[in-house]
Structure 1
Amino acid sequence: MEKWYLRNPKVDLDLISEKLGISKLLVKILANRNISDLKSIENFICPTLDRLYNPRLMKDMELGVRIAKDSILKGERIRIAGDYDQDGNSATLTLLKGIRRCNGKVDYVIPHRINDGYGLNERIVKEAKKDGIDLLITCDNGIAAFDAVKLAKELGIKVIVTDHHDISFMEDSMGRKKYILPEADAVINPKRKDCKYPFKHLSGAGVAFKFIQVLYEEFNIDIEESYELLEFVAMGTVCDVVDLVDENRIIVIEGLKRINNTKNIGLKALIKATGLEGKEINTFSLGFILGPSVNASGRLDSAEMAVELFLTEDSNLANHYAEELHKLNEERKRMTEKGFEKAINQIEQKGYDEHKVIVIYEPEVHESIAGIIAGRIKDKYYRPTILLTQSKDESKIKGSGRSIEEYNMFEEISKLKELLTIFGGHPMAAGLSLEKSNLNNFRERLNGQASLTEEDLTPKVYIDIQLPLEYINFNLVEELKILEPFGKGNPKPLFGAKNIGIKRGFILGRNNNVLKLLLVTGEGRIIDGLYFGNIEDFERKISKKFSKEELDKMYKGIDNRITIDIVYTPNINEYMGNKTLQVIIHNYR
């Protein structure tokens, strides 16, 4: 059973509303997202490029750019070591295009998910040496590549790390943390404890973008040119699910403007292949349609196809790559569904859903989709979940974890490092590898040390404002658009309304998967409510509370006793030129 909470931070609504000329309702919603002082709110409602922070504030930024500039001027060979997901793809493109603009001799390499695993490794370093590479620049990885960076230095290769993942640490006997960095020539990561950069939540592409901004300055290239890269940076920012506030909000808004007017042949081809041509691209399109198609190449094939898609000037080749990526993503969806069903069967049979942390080994799941499936299991049971699958090495297993807000997965798994062969991540997600013989020990110890309570493991719904349905109007819905784009850190506002009567119910949709309810407002007005959740579950709960007869009456439009509380978002439905108000029901009770 989920718990509902009404957010109620203390903030002077009248003062801020008057000073900034926005409604108290907007001020309240922003305060609910910890955006409550005048400057932060002003930055939020006016997300302009001149509000981006000075990239030189980032620790080692000037040092790293100086090394890169020196390499470019000397005509040395530079190689970017990227990553196989959308953020890594975006970061790679950002560095590649930026360094090429400065006339650098640059190429790139992306580790193969299956053959290499995540991040800079020994093979990539040795290959760089063989190819005469003078400077390696990592992006969206490298912060934990201690051995690979050390090897590169021993082989005489300069290394700049650009990354955004959490910093590794060791704990002493007193539980004090000692943070450790790879021995690179420059380590650029806003999460460094000695980094004074004001915003800590950039994506890997965001950090790469900051690097190129400073490089452009050094080569006297107009700052405006750096903004052309934002279409890639925005994709990485949305798809890596970092908080869409502060700088990330500016990056995404400006990036979307450019994506919707893109001249990039590959991006146009992908928009067409995924059925988005002629539609406005928004954060949903990036996060759930375009991004997963880009990710599919790194999951099921080579991630280089996705980079080449955005680099090619050949429209036929672009169309070919885009179609391939779309096909790969459809295949990935089928594999995910099958793997999810197998995992659920195992969890139910073995009672793992009673564990505080779900750890399962499902050997036949393709390792590239382990994280996606772990995320879906976490959503279903509201428990941190780690899904492990078979590694190439028969004695090893590897996989991914996804967490809930109440559990810092990175820190908890860090306590068991001696059981792992590879590990990295952040509070909400992790990637790991271990000996198969350590599986049960890992599961038991992870659960044994977890301090999660019953309360922690109860899904929570946070309501922004209690707002009776009669208060909804077109102006309110329009004003809420100021808060877009929505995403992590800036979710869609949720309103709560109590004791709502239902005039009638309809089941709609090609797969009978939409429930439309005619809701009765306090003034007796009717407003459409759409629910996209589990309809059978809804019917069961209504029948249990009010009886099957009352449910039948509701479907027939006969007066009934049913009333529900709802958590909703208001929006405008446009059909054949007519606009009507409606609400999307997210939760009910």
Structure 2
Amino acid sequence: MEKWVVTAKKADFQGIGRKYGIDPVIARIIRNRDITGDEAIEEYLNGTLADIPSWKLLKDIDKAVEIISGKIDAGTKMRIIGDYDIDGVTATYILLKGFKRLGANVDTYIPDRVADGYGIHDHLIKKAMEDGIDTIVTCDNGISASSQITYAKELGMTVVVTDHHEVPFTDTEEGRTYILPPADAIINPKQADCTYPNKNICGAVVAMKLVFALYEKYRLPEEEKEDFLEPAAIATVGDIMDLQGENRILVKEGLARLPFTKNKGLKALIRAIGLEDQKITSYDIGFRLGPCINASGRLDTAMRSLALLQSEDEEEAAKLAGDLKALNDSRKALTEKGTEKAYKLIESSNLKNDRVMVVFLPECHESLAGIIAGRIREKYHKPTFVLTRGEKSLKGSGRSTENYSMYEELVKCDSLLVQYGGHPMAAGLSIEEENVEKFRQTLNDNCTLTEEDMIPKIVIDVPMPISYINEELVEQLSILEPFGKGNTKPLFAQKNLRVLKVGIYGKTQNTVKLQLRDPSGAVMDGLYWGEAKEFADFARSHETISVTYYPRINSYMGRESLQIVIQNYC
């Protein structure tokens, strides 16, 4: 069951449309994204890199620049410790490229998902000490590593943390206390006393800010900073950051450059997945490019993705890109198998009655837990944790709904967990097997979600008759891109569309094409992808249907026509 709701935020849409030369429908969508006031609307429509906040607003960045520049000048051995996901790999690449450009004596280590686990651990610090490393710089991790960084400091090492995850905290009767690691400098916009206005940048963007600061200290040409926009954009989309303000500008700029990238590895990967000579969208990063970069950290080693980004040889880049695509294809097959197992387990047990789902799939590869959790969340519209059997304990990943802060709920289960970290919408954890049932029970006992909260809401931007659609409106919709979390693709709706023709097409018979007429007499083609037979049967058995849709211009054999892509129906 779905609940369709229309966003009804007020503004002078006609006035905004006249002022900015846009259709009132576009003005309404912008208002629905909470973009209000001339300054915000201007930035949304025409924002550039000049509108991005200065790195100088990040707490401790001056301190980090002094530490790192001193180490660079002295030739001191440094090691970057990143993470094995898309954000961690790109953040590692950014720091490594930036530091090497400045002549640093630096290497890197990305932890192995299975052998090492997430983030910085005592054995990695010990290994760094044995390798003669003086300074560790973390990226996309470190904020939760208080005991490990204490160990590094006891060994006499310098530690700089760059991260974007939630700062650990404890809640007492006196209030909330935040726990920061004893690093020499901590760059993380989520620190309570950090003045950086955008708290939702990814780890790669934090790393990029540090490189920008170092480049300015060493007076490098401004245009060299552009080298980092593409990986920062990929990480922002891949780590599902809100595409608002700075993030939206960065992604827009990165996407514009990707088809012409000078990075041989990215160029090879774009070619391998069939995106060469095409416009690349945020969807392509999220569902085609990004998963290939993530795949090596899931099923092999993330160092392979890092090698791709660093590759200077076209033949090597092509081989690495092919390997990553093959790994991702394998990952997709394993994900389908694991997801089906999860559905069967849920439907055959009491798990389906829980408001927070904890699903234990012992044989599932731990790297797939987060993807499967996301699938379960989409199907049941409930926060979901998927646990798998790791080498020392169970490991798990969670994916949440908008009204449930996953990280804060994990804090309440602190005594049951070996390790945890994350965001409101996603989290990772380790837990002993004997604590799983207590963990599930505690999460559900603490859960305040209502039945209403668990009904999926279809949020409609504009109820709009298909007779209103024209080519100019469809073209104007592109100025709202890139779409993603925090700047969703607009959704339109119309009731009482008469079905004139219905047909099922496609190699796998998964496409429905139909002809629709609205009450004014306007006729337009519609497309539906998904459960084709089910939808076709529904359309044939009803005189009129109501749909949500997105309009587009269809180009075929040199002819263009307007059509709608149907998302939901009733």
What's the counterpart of residue 253 of structure 2? 254
What's the counterpart of residue 76 of structure 1? 76
CA contact (8 A) 1:60 1:186 kept: yes
Q: Please list, as runs of the form range in 1=range in 2, the aligned pairs for 1:133-532 lying within 5 A after superposition.
A: 133-173=133-173, 176-393=175-392, 396-532=393-529
Q: Please list, as runs of the form range in 1=range in 2, the aligned pairs for 1:43-58 lying within 5 A after superposition.
A: 43-58=43-58
Match of 2:554 among 573, 576, 588: 573
Deviation at 1:223, TM superposition (A): 2.3
Shift >4 Å, 4+ stretches: 539-542
Deviation at 1:191, TM superposition (A): 1.1
SS at match of 2:452: coil
What's the counterpart of residue 127 of structure 1? 127
Deviation at 1:429, TM superposition (A): 0.6
Deviation at 1:261, TM superposition (A): 0.6
Q: Tell me the distance in 1 between the aligned counterparts of 2:31 and 2:198.
A: 18
Number of residue-to-residue matches in the alignment: 570
SS at match of 1:580: strand
SS at match of 2:317: helix
Q: Tell me the distance in 2 between the aligned counterparts of 1:81 and 1:404.
A: 31
CA contact (8 A) 2:514 2:525 kept: yes
Q: Tell me the distance in 2 between the aligned counterparts of 1:523 and 1:16.
A: 28
Residues 540 and 453 of structure 1: CA distance in aligned 2, closer, same or farther (over 3 Å) = farther
Deviation at 1:65, TM superposition (A): 1.2
Q: Which runs of 5+ in 2 are unaligned?
A: none
What's the counterpart of residue 93 of structure 2? 93
Deviation at 1:64, TM superposition (A): 1.0
Q: Deviations over 1:92-146 (max 9, x none)?
A: 1111111111111111110000011111111211111111112111111111111
Deviation at 1:539, TM superposition (A): 5.1
Q: Tell me the distance in 2 between the aligned counterparts of 1:440 and 1:289.
A: 36
Q: Tell me the distance in 2 between the aligned counterparts of 1:408 and 1:125.
A: 32
Q: Which runs of 5+ in 1 are unaligned?
A: 543-549, 552-560
Deviation at 1:208, TM superposition (A): 0.8
Deviation at 1:316, TM superposition (A): 2.0
What's the counterpart of residue 555 of structure 1? none
Q: Tell me the distance in 2 between the aligned counterparts of 1:472 and 1:207.
A: 41
Q: Deviations over 1:322-374 (max 9, x none)?
A: 11111111110111010001111100010312110111111011000000000
SS at match of 1:456: helix
Percentage identity across paired residues of the two chains: 48
What's the counterpart of residue 37 of structure 2? 37
What's the counterpart of residue 67 of structure 2? 67
Q: Tell me the distance in 2 between the aligned counterparts of 1:374 and 1:331.
A: 18
Moved more, 31-40 or 334-343: 31-40
**Is the counterpart of residue 584 in structure 1 residue 562 in structure 2?**
no
SS at match of 1:147: helix
Deviation at 1:299, TM superposition (A): 0.4
* TM-score in terms of structure 2 length: 0.98
The one-letter code matched in structure 2 to 1:494 is L
Q: Tell me the distance in 1 between the aligned counterparts of 2:251 and 2:133.
A: 34
Q: Tell me the distance in 2 between the aligned counterparts of 1:358 and 1:517.
A: 38
Q: Tell me the distance in 1 between the aligned counterparts of 2:336 and 2:415.
A: 33
What's the counterpart of residue 108 of structure 1? 108
Q: Tell me the distance in 1 between the aligned counterparts of 2:205 and 2:89.
A: 12
The one-letter code matched in structure 1 to 2:388 is T
Q: Deviations over 1:393-442 (max 9, x none)?
A: 2xx21110101111111111210110000100111111011110011111
CA contact (8 A) 1:228 1:258 kept: no
CA contact (8 A) 1:168 1:180 kept: yes
Deviation at 1:536, TM superposition (A): 4.1
Residues 540 and 382 of structure 1: CA distance in aligned 2, closer, same or farther (over 3 Å) = farther
Deviation at 1:9, TM superposition (A): 1.6
**Is the counterpart of residue 2 in structure 1 residue 2 in structure 2?**
yes
SS at match of 2:483: coil
* RMSD over equivalenced CA pairs, Å: 1.3
